[in-house]
Structure 1
Amino acid sequence: MFDGTPRRIVSMWFPRLASDRALRLCPVEGPFALTGRAENTERIFCLNAQAEAQGLHRGMPFAEARAFCPDLRARPADPAGDARQLEGLRRWSLRYCPWAGREGTDGLVLDITGSAHLAGGEAALIADMRARLVRAGFGVRLGLGDTRGAAWALAHHGTGMAIAPPGQGASVLAPLPVAALRLDDDTVTALQRLGLRTIGAVAQAARGPLARRFGPDLLARLDQAFGRAPEAITPLAEPPHYGVRLTLPEPIGLTSDVMAGLARLLDRLCVRLRAQEAGARTLCLTLRRVDRESREVTLRLASAMRDPARILPLFARGVEEVDAGFGIDQLRLEAVGVEPMPVAQIGPAAEAPDRLDNLVTRIGTRIGLDNILRFQPADSHIPERSFTLVPAAGLAPGAPWPRAPRPRPLQLFPPEPVSVQGPAREPAPPATFRWRRMRFATARATGPERIAPEWWVPDPGWRSGLRDYWRVETRQGRRLWLFHTPQMGDWFVQGEFL
């Protein structure tokens, strides 16, 4: 990176990242641990210093840990949240250098070559790192060396804030245990049985027998630690930012002027979205007035879009309601919600969904997208459970509705009892019956269709057991959907055919 300047690498290790993060969110006094399921057993995933002082350790069965420490407080582990926290720490570490990457699931690696003087030297730089992290509630161990392997070894097996002077990495690493070479447990155990317990002892041993006994990985790790083999630091790419801004030389206040500026911003934003094969689902337009106050217009789209001509008219209602005050001198547009939108073939068949999405978006700006629902088929043969209501926005066309074995009524409602008039005609529907204070006479009946309850779903309405459904055409012109419960002998109406 810098000609004639040796590399200087910092390794950050957070030995209790998960528990530190959990305790920052909700502090707990005394022994604390996070638990996770492994090998069909609830085990300790991470724990704080007080729990370790009680003799607990990672991987220990949780039931055994509670027996050793009755006062132990525990919560479920959240590896996804820990990964997000580590990514936040990585972004924070960019204040010290432009090259920062992850080291496993609980560490970071930084290339501070040429940037340590900005903090007053290497010692001052890592002291500042440690002070800020400890103040934020994170326990951290730091190592600084000429190579990535040396920095990792000092962070994990050093004093907690160790520095190897430039060019003296070999002498600093020599007394450290062989586990500091980032080897697997089996290799470490085998080396210790041979009497090679330190990195210096491994470095002085003959390379040929070591290569034949342990393979090339041992010598590769040794050379990386001593700087004889390169080891790159790959910084993570920053996520794309979908925000554009327009600063005006003179304030504007007319809706037409704001829409004209918004059109220019949309053109630039959609170019970025198209380059990343993404589409916007939520857009936020910020209008800064000359009095330094801002007004925001948020647009939620029914589906991912990146067509300026389709998006621009949808902003009109929100822009008209903005109070421009003494004028607006800056417009900022940001796609705060983005979804993948790969390139697809465009044809006449794609026009209908676009028009429907535009309609849903326009209605959603008035009543809210969450209030626009649609029916979705559900995997159940129970009539009232054969569909579900889901938000219509962003819902891709699903599978076609499954064909029922018998016709279903277009109007379905909770079962309503009927009173049978005259003698019952088991198992056929009654000849006359009363429903909703009206008297009906059966003209024709089709059925029965027997439906059994789903025993795995607790539903009080189906505890009576089987149901025999009939399609009944009455002499009064109503076509009803009746069912009979053989266990109770009662009749109910649950739907009507139109």
Structure 2
Amino acid sequence: MSDMFDGTRIKPARRIVSLWFPRLSSDRFLRVRPVDGPFVLTLKESNANRIYCLNVEAEKQGLHQSMSFADARAFCPLVLSQPADIPADERFLLALRRWASRYCPWVGLEGRDGLTLDVTGSVHLFGDEPRMLSDMRQRLMRAGLTARIGVAKTRGAAWAFAHYGEEACPEGPLEEALAPLPVAALRLERKTDIALQRLGLRSIGDLIATERAPLTRRFGPGLVMRLDQALGAQPEEVTPLADPPHYAVRMTLPEPIGLSADVMAGTERLLGPLCDKLTANGVGARVLMLSLRRVDHAAQQVELRLARPLNNPARILPLFERGVTAADAGFGIDQLRLSALQVETLPVQQISHVSSGGKDQLEDLITRLGTRIGLENIQRFLPADSHIPERSFLIAPAAFSEPGGPWISLLPRPLRLFPPEPIAGQGPQPPRQFRWRRMRLRTGRATGPERIAPEWWLSDENWRSGVRDYWRIETREGRRLWLFYTPQNPGWFVQGEFA
């Protein structure tokens, strides 16, 4: 028995997989909106649009990355283009990282268009290495993604084979497998690559045969470090991304509770550690969920949507009172769970003795009203960049918008604005007397006209009649109205009233 098993454990050989997506941006876009023919994504660099990513058809037409888009149109007039979306590409790569975790738990990012997987010890789950690579290739092909796969003992060698060599590392020492590859396969900077080629060191084999001391003096320790990492002489680990923080706490009670005061006391104890975690990460909760588990295994949920992201337990706790009071405790509650469903980054604030209590009270009031009628139903007016009266403001939910600046206008505008209401009048001068809303009014003072032309780039049925001449009318009866006259189709209308 001792001859068959001596208590030692055989450590599996290290295997690193490098996934490179050379057309990540264009593949992401074409998966949603397929295009027949040459297609490129452009990015503005140094006041010029250049090709950021392109498909196979565009490469066949002689186009390449970093090429000026004007030159690309000259080479291929039928090329289609769209602006590149770097944040969307980053989110897509993170989604691919989550997908790649089906092969191993250690998945890290490799630049903007690659992934690195440490599949040591997980290859047998798919049969063998060729079957695992075939599964990767087929799934990516069905997803419409172009990918090149490299496998080796080290991270640097796997990257080199994915970008410049074969798929898997050939049998034999790494020095022999990497020797024919160009020096750029060592993940070097562009200027270092050009300098090495000018010295006649064009392949990794040339670097291996060269004395290291002159290379270190000429290019620094980074070149030798990259070579050692590829050959396995210097370790290089795969660092997976950290899991996002989980904002949830719970409390299991030894005895069931049923009073609202007891539930609020438990909620207060949960808010402390939850808000401490929010504060440590520089975020605030926007949506909170309090789950109350009853002894009959039913659950009551109290959702709190805040007008502003908060991490202050003293301000959050009173806002739960209405929802906790309305909850049905049944035969008792034996567990409380508080979680932040939506968090937002809080801006950095200057600590001073000046209190912002007025703003805090307004946000708390919006939250209290929003729990009853909905946060979307509490709205505010925001200024808009338009000289048209109907387009000079926007209506947005107060909880999801910041107060805008003052309305910029050279002439005063009425506080109340309503759809135009016709009145009797003739000629371009304001009528001396007129009837409006069953009231007989007499003009005491008229200021104007202020001619406002329609915005020709927007289609508006109410302004197709042409320009309007606006007048500020002070009536002898005390009304201060805003009237306008339409020269193209003569007529007088009242559209607003000053305070």
SS in 2 for 1:176: coil
Q: Structure 2 matches for 1:331-342, cutoff 5 A?
A: 331-341=336-346, 342=348
Q: Which residue of 2 aligns with 1:286?
A: 291
Q: Which residue of 2 aligns with 1:350?
A: 356
* Cα contact 2:23–2:53 (8 A) shared by 1: no
C-alpha distance in structure 2 between counterparts of 1:66 and 1:446, whole Å = 58
* Cα contact 1:142–1:162 (8 A) shared by 2: no
C-alpha distance in structure 1 between counterparts of 2:26 and 2:254, whole Å = 52
Deviation at 1:380, TM superposition (A): 3.1
C-alpha distance in structure 1 between counterparts of 2:439 and 2:276, whole Å = 65
C-alpha distance in structure 1 between counterparts of 2:410 and 2:179, whole Å = 78
Q: Which residue of 2 aligns with 1:483?
A: 484
Q: Which residue of 2 aligns with 1:45?
A: 53
Deviation at 1:418, TM superposition (A): 1.8
Moved more, 330-339 or 97-106: 97-106
Aligned partner letter, 1:364: G
Among candidates 245, 249, 268, match of residue 250 of structure 2: 245
Q: Structure 2 matches for 1:211-290, cutoff 5 A?
A: 219-228=224-233, 233-290=238-295
Deviation at 1:258, TM superposition (A): 3.1
Task: Confirm or deny that 1:102 pairs with 2:103.
Answer: no
* Cα contact 1:16–1:47 (8 A) shared by 2: yes
* Cα contact 1:44–1:57 (8 A) shared by 2: no
Deviation at 1:361, TM superposition (A): 0.5
Q: Structure 2 matches for 1:192-203, cutoff 5 A?
A: 198-203=203-208
Q: Structure 2 matches for 1:22-61, cutoff 5 A?
A: 35-38=40-43, 45-47=53-55, 59=65
Q: Deviations over 1:297-317 (max 9, x none)?
A: 321101111222321232233
Q: Which residue of 1 aligns with 2:367?
A: 361
C-alpha distance in structure 2 between counterparts of 1:459 and 1:64, whole Å = 42
Task: Confirm or deny that 1:374 pairs with 2:380.
Answer: yes
Aligned partner letter, 1:418: I
SS in 1 for 2:318: helix
Q: Deviations over 1:99-118 (max 9, x none)?
A: 54311112122456xxx346
Among candidates 155, 164, 170, match of residue 157 of structure 1: 164
Aligned partner letter, 1:239: P
Q: From the superposition, tell whether residues 387 and 63 of structure 1 become closer, same or farther in structure 2 (CA, over 3 Å).
A: same
Aligned partner letter, 2:53: F
Aligned partner letter, 1:279: G
Q: Structure 2 matches for 1:310-329, cutoff 5 A?
A: 310-324=315-329, 327-329=332-334
Instruction: Count residues with an aligned counterpart.
Output: 477
SS in 1 for 2:273: helix
Moved more, 124-133 or 316-325: 124-133
* Cα contact 1:44–1:62 (8 A) shared by 2: no
C-alpha distance in structure 1 between counterparts of 2:453 and 2:486, whole Å = 11
- Work out the percentage of aligned pairs sharing the same amino acid: 54
SS in 1 for 2:421: strand
Task: Confirm or deny that 1:385 pairs with 2:385.
Answer: no
Q: Structure 2 matches for 1:32-181, cutoff 5 A?
A: 35-38=40-43, 45-47=53-55, 59=65, 78-91=85-98, 93=100, 100-111=107-118, 116-117=120-121, 120=124, 124=128, 127-128=131-132, 131=135, 134-135=138-139, 137=143, 140-162=147-169, 168-181=173-186
Deviation at 1:372, TM superposition (A): 0.6
* Cα contact 1:304–1:394 (8 A) shared by 2: no
Q: Deviations over 1:234-263 (max 9, x none)?
A: 544433221112233444454444333222
C-alpha distance in structure 2 between counterparts of 1:194 and 1:296, whole Å = 70
Task: Confirm or deny that 1:473 pairs with 2:478.
Answer: no
C-alpha distance in structure 2 between counterparts of 1:248 and 1:64, whole Å = 73
Q: TM-score, normalised by structure 2?
A: 0.77
C-alpha distance in structure 2 between counterparts of 1:294 and 1:25, whole Å = 40
Q: Deviations over 1:299-352 (max 9, x none)?
A: 110111122232123223333444455554433222122122345436564111
SS in 2 for 1:267: helix
Aligned partner letter, 1:286: S
Aligned partner letter, 1:350: S
* Cα contact 1:283–1:335 (8 A) shared by 2: yes
Q: Deviations over 1:397-439 (max 9, x none)?
A: 443x246444332221122222127xx5x5x412123334544
SS in 2 for 1:440: strand
RMSD over aligned Cα, in angstroms? 4.3
Q: Deviations over 1:32-67 (max 9, x none)?
A: 88642246679683547xx69988876595897796
C-alpha distance in structure 2 between counterparts of 1:324 and 1:412, whole Å = 50
